[in-house]
A and B are shown apart, each in its own frame.
Chain A
């Protein structure tokens, strides 16, 4: 546990130190949302807004995750010698999850400011966002580890992760449609449990499979 905390702290310090990265991500988030606002001025349909929002979330997460990994290969060798792969991936999953969550909350705030969803069941929407983004971040972490071992970088990561992201996104989109309906919509329990199951499964797969990526 101590080791996990240490890795998380280290990542956080690294992230805070490079203000450029933070600024880049915030700018990216703001400008993608703003561009979609410009394009959607005449569209008032809530479910279209919903679809666009999830698309933005994918691209922002990809950008944010890849940024947090870039140019770190040399340091990784140092960490390899200190901790076990299981602990390392757990720390990474937690760190990336929290990081992406804050980025996507930011995206949500900006999106509501510019575009808005209309009447929303906010609690349901936010819990959907939380569960989905958590899943996305673990999946992207794993895909990025695979892609960086494969030497392909960002393009390879996009190719590897897009198809695997779809289950999460489709469930999320259905769930948020329910929350946009504005009423206490029944039948969301099933979707929530699917999201939970997917998150747990992705985390388990990361934990089991990461050691094989680690060994070199």
Chain B
């Protein structure tokens, strides 16, 4: 059993608690700029956007470990890759839910209508989630451990590259306007006209949520390690 490494340290978990507590408290208390449609819902920025950042981060980690597994098939790489993508999936679902809530109160004029709008980013995100669901299905379809690890690593790399290229390229090309910021060419983030108050919350929030994501993943990884260890005795 491996009992070293950053997963077993606790300082970053305290950091995560501090950042997230700050996000929640300051996020709801610090004044935000008054924008026509958004009003107070702009505070959702600290939650919705961070979910996607955390998802992208953890899926990239998953990709890294899938590549590592193909280069050097160690069981532990497979555990990390799979748990990362499961957690990424959860954060993706949370991102969709927070986004749908936000959309309900802004894009639909607060009538409580559908939160689902055809938007290049939403479609991209939804498809990314579908492909990771397919990854879960694929893993469950196989019993043999080594085979499962290798084949799901292949699919993980395949899916990740397709999705990332799609998410990066498609919004730039789409002639359908995105309601997300940065439409008209750039799917990036720089056109958020955050004022300095919002930045003060937003950056810690991103780090906090990513740390939380890592924390959940680390617990999953450790559980899975123990499960495999018990299974192999």
Contacts and interface: CB of A to CB of B under 8 A. Distances in A.
Interface string B127-158: 11011011001100110000100110111011
Interface residues of A, number: 32
B162 interface: yes
A142 interface: yes
A205 B158 contact: yes
A195 to B, nearest CB: 11
A156 B170 contact: no
Interface residues of B, number: 30
A146 B159 contact: no
A160 B153 contact: no
A1 B166 CA distance: 33
B114 interface: no
B128, B142, B162: residue with the most chain A Cβ atoms closer than 10 Å: B162
Contact of A146 (B151, B161, B165, B169): B151
Contact of A163 (B127, B142, B169, B175): B127
A99 B170 CA distance: 28
A24 B79 CA distance: 43
A159 interface: yes
A162 B127 CA distance: 9
29 contacts: A146-B151, A150-B151, A156-B141, A160-B138, A160-B155, A162-B130, A163-B130, A163-B131, A163-B133, A164-B162, A166-B123, A167-B127, A170-B170, A174-B173, A174-B174, A194-B169, A194-B170, A194-B173, A198-B165, A201-B165, A202-B162, A205-B157, A205-B162, A209-B70, A209-B154, A209-B157, A209-B158, A212-B150, A213-B154
Interface of A: 142, 146-147, 149-152, 156, 159-160, 162-164, 166-167, 170-171, 174, 187, 190-191, 194, 197-198, 201-202, 205, 209, 212-213, 215-216
Interface of B: 70, 123, 127-128, 130-131, 133-134, 137-138, 141-142, 147, 150-151, 153-155, 157-159, 161-162, 165-166, 169-170, 173-175
Nearest first, the 10 A-B pairs at minimum CB distance are A163-B131, A163-B130, A167-B166, A152-B141, A150-B141, A166-B127, A209-B154, A159-B134, A164-B162, A160-B134
